[in-house]
Amino acid sequence: MSSLTPLVQISVTVMVSLASLVFAIAEGGPIPALTVPIAIGSLLIVDRMRQFSVGPMAAFALGLMAIGAAGIELAVGGIEARLLSVAHLSVYLTWVILVQQKDTRAYWWLCGLSVLQIAVSALLASDAWLGVVWALYLLTAIWTAALLSVAQAMERISPVTKRERNRHGQSDGSSQPSGSPALQGEHAFPARLAGSAAVMSVLSLGVATIFFLLIPRVWIGNFQLFDDTPLPGSRTLTGFTEQVTLGDMGEILESDNLVMEFAFFENDTGRKLTEKDLPKWLGTDPFFRGALLDLYENGRWQRAEGFESDKAPDFVAERGLLRQEVTLQPIGSPTLFAAGEMLAARSLVSKENVLQYETLRMFMRPREAQLSQSYQYEAIARPEVSDVLDDPASIRADRFNGERCFYEGRRRDGPRPYLNQRLLNYPSNLARLRTLSLELTDGLTDPAEKVDRLMHYLKGSGEFNYSLNLAIEDPSIDPVEDFVFNRRSGHCEYFASALALMLRGVGIPSRVASGFRGGQFNNRTERFEVREWHAHAWVEAFVNGRWVTLDPTPAGRSSSVVEMDRKQRSQVWLGLAGEFRYWWSTGVSLSNQNQKQFIYRPIQSAFSAAWESMRDVRGTAAQLGTTLKTFLSDPRRWISWQGGVFAFVTLSLLSGLVWLFRKLVQAVRRGEKNQDALVRQQTRVEFYERFRRILSKEGVRSEPTQTAREFAAYATAELKPVMQTDEIRGIPSVVAEQFNRVRFGHDPLTDEEIRVIDQSLNDLEAGLRRNDANPPQAAQVT
């Protein structure tokens, strides 16, 4: 190739390694990651040191093996495995190409295969980090492609002429070793090329964003690449699961990944709620209720089977409700969340139905929904203030006030098997915990007092601490008993589990609710953000005919979450990361409806407004003048974004005016120059061209190498026999002198001189015509 070869090799290695790493992380498997050591080894051993390479036949055999391996994966796996088999084939082929001696075409193939791997990673994951890595990959790919195009151009170029391909393509001349002649003296070329590639990458990202926003989401058919089951690489851990396994949440509670965003609206008026409005509606620490878990076995809470779902209503005729637009990140669960008691819900991104489990009052997406993408829905809920239940003292004061409970259920009369059987189901191996519960509530008959006592025991007694330390002291007993009797510290799942079981132990139906509690209001987006560290579990108990929400987790959890929220607000980097994640999740969940609402209609409105402004020129000018006057009269606004826009527009206009002025000056000068040239050309043609025509008729033609004087002398010598007089013989030299004066001396002839020249040419023509019968003996070159 050329002297750029080492750069090309390194760039391709980096690009291929990056693509395979992204693929490996997205897949969660080790196979694609093996590309990295192979690529580095190939760079060193095959490309640079040239110690080893695989020949064509061996590579062919390896390719067949790769196809066979991928075929086996294709034959035995499900749909994900089939997709992965194709992706793995691209990885295998990458390896095969890497271990060979490579030319430009091989490098192009490596580029293509890396693009395929990046594409597959887009199907396997949708996390925000992918956006950053893809941008990095784009930069690397553009740089590599630019290098390859340069190298390819240098390969095609030969400094000597070549015959056309149909003439065997052999070199016509003495082909000389060319090396890289184009790069000679271009030491700064790679650096300049890198700068150009960087600019190109930024521009590409910008254009790609525009494409992404404007391409209509006209989904074809109703195919899904994946079913509900998350792929191995698509981590959807958010702290929320439909099955709570004690001990799983610790890592989650330290993660700041965004889970949900809420925009709250007053359902009656449509008014969007601000940060100040929210505490009045939801309290300072709202619950976002998700799954309800009623079956406990061996340290795991899950939902019992057998519930029937029905299509959820999307409208409720009730006043005082809260409408919530929710963007839910992919969490691998169809469960939907809302602040308050959700009464109705509908999808905002598709015609997908939302299901409601009537018995449980849970709202979920259908099982066939695609859970690997973010989801937007609208929930209508009845807001309740729930934070009073956190404080045992408050519980005593206002306990079970129906108006202040988080969730008040009203059940039909009659047998209640769900309440009386399922929610009182107590594991037989927790006898010690039941004994403790009975001891604590000994002498109490009112279920509400029993609840109060048990809540106080876990939350207010000071015997239990909030901790993310998950060390089990006695693995031989149930985790809940280990928590209550040994460790006495744990996170929300332990507290909720303990309270729910203790309540059941004293005959109060209870269950564990899993969801999120708390969040931050983002003033920029005016959305309430819920992150993974807000994951929470609490208890719902049926006490005295009503459902009440109980949160037995000590204040340590709130402190921890509040501290993390504070950090999130204070650290710029986390703030930026959060911003990026927000926009990423918005993009990943972009739907046709979103496009119409946020892109197409605003553009249409902007055009309409611009059109109206153009039609009303006078009004627009007056408004512009008023705005300008207001701006200029208020120096405080100069240092603001408005000042920046004003400066930009003003400088742009000035630049445009200067550019226009320069163009006008250039055009005027060019016109004058052309006019001069035209005049000079016409002056020359008028008599000298006639002189040449006259002589040409006699067979005397000027040669390209002859000056006017030489031509005159030559003509005089050639036509000497036919030039009768000395006057005529002298005409050519006179014409030549006058021509030089006009053509090169820029000294136009006077009218008298032109008349004389014309007369001389007439004489010459007449003199030669008279001798036509006796032509000159000059040699004629025909």
Partner 1 sequence: MRLMSEQNTDDRLPRTFSTQGLAAMMCGLGLAAFEMRYQFMLMRLGLGGRIVVMLLAASLSIWGLKEVIAGLFPSLGHHGLARHRFNWPMSGRIYAVIMMVLFIGSMLGRSNTLLMIFCMLAAAFVLNGWMSFTMLRYIDVDRSLPPRVMAGEPSSVELTLRNRKSWLSIWVMTVHDQIRHHADHLVADVLFLRVGPSSERSGHYRMLLNERGRYLFGPMQVNTRFPLGLVERGLNLAKTDTILVYPRVGRLTPGWRNQLPSATELMQQAVSRGGPFNDEFHKLREYRVGDDLRAVHWRTTARRNELMIREFQESRDRQLLFLLDGYHRGSPTHDERNAMELALSFATTVCIDHLHNSRESPLAFAAVGEQQIAWESRQPVESLLDSLAVFEPSMDADPKALLAAAMDFNVGATRTILVTPRPVSIGKTLAEMSTRDELGRRGFLQGVQIVSMTEADLGRFIMFE
User: Side chain identity at 174, as an amino acid letter?
Assistant: S
Quick one: how far is CA 282 from the chain centroid?
Answer: 34
Please, what is the minimum distance in Å from the beta carbon of residue 159 to partner 1?
6
The one among 373, 568, 593, 771 contacting partner 1 by CB under 8 A: 373
746 binds partner 1 (CB under 8 A): no
Task: Please give the structure tokens belonging to residue 86.
Answer: 């194709």
Please, what is the minimum distance in Å from the beta carbon of residue 765 to partner 1?
23
Please, what is the minimum distance in Å from the beta carbon of residue 747 to partner 1?
29
DSSP track, 315-353: ----SS-EEEEEEE---S--B--EESEEEEEEESSSS--
Report how many residues bind partner 1 under the rule CB under 8 A: 85
Binding to partner 1, residues 240-299 (CB under 8 A): none
Binding to partner 1, residues 691-720 (CB under 8 A): 703-706, 714, 717
The one among 204, 255, 620, 740 contacting partner 1 by CB under 8 A: 204
The one among 65, 160, 576, 610 contacting partner 1 by CB under 8 A: 160
Burial of 64 (0-12, 13-18, 19+ CB in 10 A): exposed
Please, what is the minimum distance in Å from the beta carbon of residue 163 to partner 1?
6
Please, what is the minimum distance in Å from the beta carbon of residue 73 to partner 1?
19
142 binds partner 1 (CB under 8 A): yes
Please say which residue, 5 or 706, places its beta carbon nearer to partner 1. Answer: 706
> What is the CA angle 409-242-527, rounded to 5?
75
Please, what is the minimum distance in Å from the beta carbon of residue 164 to partner 1?
5
Please, what is the minimum distance in Å from the beta carbon of residue 716 to partner 1?
12
Does residue 512 sit in helix, strand or coil?
Answer: strand
Binding to partner 1, residues 101-140 (CB under 8 A): 108, 112, 115-116, 118-119, 122-123, 125-126, 130-131, 134, 138
Alpha-carbon distances, residue 138 vs 33, 108, 141 (angstroms) = 19, 15, 5
Helix axes 79-98, 5-27, angle to 10 degrees: 160
Task: Please give the structure tokens belonging to residue 179.
Answer: 């090396």
148 binds partner 1 (CB under 8 A): yes
Count the neighbouring beta carbons within 10 Å of the beta carbon of residue 39.
Answer: 23
For the chain, the first-to-last Cα distance in angstroms comes to 52
Q: Which helix (H) or strand (E) holds 240?
A: none
Please, what is the minimum distance in Å from the beta carbon of residue 595 to partner 1?
10
Please say which residue, 77 or 112, places its beta carbon nearer to partner 1. Answer: 112
Q: Give which of 448, 461, 450, 452 is closest to 555, Cα–Cα.
A: 461
The one among 44, 65, 77, 149 contacting partner 1 by CB under 8 A: 149
Please say which residue, 211 or 641, places its beta carbon nearer to partner 1. Answer: 211
564 binds partner 1 (CB under 8 A): no
User: Side chain identity at 694, as an amino acid letter?
Assistant: I
Please, what is the minimum distance in Å from the beta carbon of residue 235 to partner 1?
15
Cβ-proximal residues to 24 (8 Å cutoff; 6+ apart), any chain: 30, 31, 32, 33
656 binds partner 1 (CB under 8 A): no
How many CA atoms within 13 Å lie on the side-chain side of 647?
8
β-strand 465-466 against 489-490: which pairing, if any? parallel
Please say which residue, 269 or 705, places its beta carbon nearer to partner 1. Answer: 705
Q: What is the largest CA-CA distance in the chain?
A: 154
**Alpha-helical segments (H) within 257-327:** 278-282
Contact 30, 23 (CB under 8 A): no
Please, what is the minimum distance in Å from the beta carbon of residue 646 to partner 1?
25
Please say which residue, 116 or 484, places its beta carbon nearer to partner 1. Answer: 116
Binding to partner 1, residues 578-597 (CB under 8 A): 587-590, 592
Binding to partner 1, residues 592-621 (CB under 8 A): 592
Binding characters for partner 1, 163-202, by CB under 8 A (x = yes): xx--x----xxx-x-----xx--x--x--xx--xx--x--
Please, what is the minimum distance in Å from the beta carbon of residue 370 to partner 1?
7
Please say which residue, 638 or 659, places its beta carbon nearer to partner 1. Answer: 659
Burial of 312 (0-12, 13-18, 19+ CB in 10 A): buried
Alpha-carbon distances, residue 578 vs 375, 529, 595 (angstroms) = 18, 10, 23
Please say which residue, 471 or 717, places its beta carbon nearer to partner 1. Answer: 717
Count the neighbouring beta carbons within 10 Å of the beta carbon of residue 22.
Answer: 25
Dist CA 67 CA 606 (whole Å) = 54
Please, what is the minimum distance in Å from the beta carbon of residue 140 to partner 1?
12
Please say which residue, 210 or 393, places its beta carbon nearer to partner 1. Answer: 210
Dist CA 15 CA 625 (whole Å) = 54
Please, what is the minimum distance in Å from the beta carbon of residue 607 to partner 1?
12
Binding to partner 1, residues 208-247 (CB under 8 A): 208-212, 215-221, 223-225
Please say which residue, 182 or 316, places its beta carbon nearer to partner 1. Answer: 182
Please say which residue, 226 or 466, places its beta carbon nearer to partner 1. Answer: 226
The one among 33, 146, 316, 444 contacting partner 1 by CB under 8 A: 146
The one among 64, 75, 207, 609 contacting partner 1 by CB under 8 A: 207
Q: Give which of 230, 376, 357 is closest to 290, Cα–Cα.
A: 357
Please, what is the minimum distance in Å from the beta carbon of residue 171 to partner 1?
9
